[in-house]
Amino acid sequence: MTITYIYHSCYLIEFGEFSVIFDYYKDTVRDDGSAWVNDYLLGKEEDLYVLCTHSHSDHFNPEILTWKERKKNITYIFSDELLLSGKTKKNDAYHLKKEEQYNDSRMMVKAFGSTDSGGSFLLSHNDHSFFHAGDLNNWHWNEEVGKSEALTYENNFLCELELLAEISDRMHVVMFPVDPRLGKDYMKGAEQFVSRIPSNYFLPMHFGDKFDKANKFEKIAVRYGCKYLSLSHCGESYTL
């Protein structure tokens, strides 16, 4: 399988016989000058699954609903928050509430909670688990709010983390926010995640253009036996 960082919180996983893209916001350019999604991905013959965790504009681009006009073998799996917010209609996708799941012969997708809008997704394929956090994170904002409020935000995250840990005792790939806007403790949620749920590989999200800041998590990840996959640019790929 190959996993590619598209932009912001968008990752593409190519499993060979099918592909999965998470939280598409905007496209990026390949080495040959073509677009990763609009040229390469939508031009592939293999089936495509399009997953979206919530309706924030940096996670949901309504353009994705037009892709089915170009590519017929697409399956859309969304958080039900997109339906409730009016961004999508019932027939646009499989809309999953928290703890609901989608199953077919290839994979299972189960919806988990968030500490912001919408949810997060746990994908299982070939006995491996892949987690995309959406906006699930320890959004403590402890440099901007009082201690009590920051602890409330943290506890909300830890509760969601425990629910996930009850279902999965190991992740193969984790895609999770490492957002420098949180201040000096911006990696706290990511560390709490990999310390609670053993993970083979970690990929950062939601860091803007602060690649250097995101990559500082590598030293923390290794403490917990997790391989951090560093990023230097959009469109970077790893084969696992």
Percent of the chain with pLDDT over 90: 99
- Token digits of residue 73: 């073998």
The whole-number pLDDT of residue 211 equals: 98
pLDDT tens digits for 50-72?
999 999 999 999 999 999 999 99
The whole-number pLDDT of residue 198 equals: 98
The whole-number pLDDT of residue 115 equals: 97
40 phi/psi in degrees, rounded to 5 = -70, -60
What are the boundaries of each domain within the chain? 2-239
Q: What is the pTM of this model?
A: 0.97
CATH class, domain 2-239, is alpha beta
The Cα 123–Cα 81 span in angstroms is: 19
- CA 175, 181, 186, 192: dihedral to nearest 10 degrees? -50
pLDDT tens digits for 172-183?
999 999 999 999
Residue 101: which residues within 8 A CB-CB, separation 6 or more? 108, 109, 110, 111
Pairing, β 94-96 against β 74-79:
parallel
pLDDT, average across residues 24-39: 96
pLDDT, average across residues 3-8: 98
pLDDT tens digits for 184-237?
999 999 999 999 999 999 999 999 999 999 999 999 999 999 999 999 999 999
pLDDT, average across residues 42-54: 97
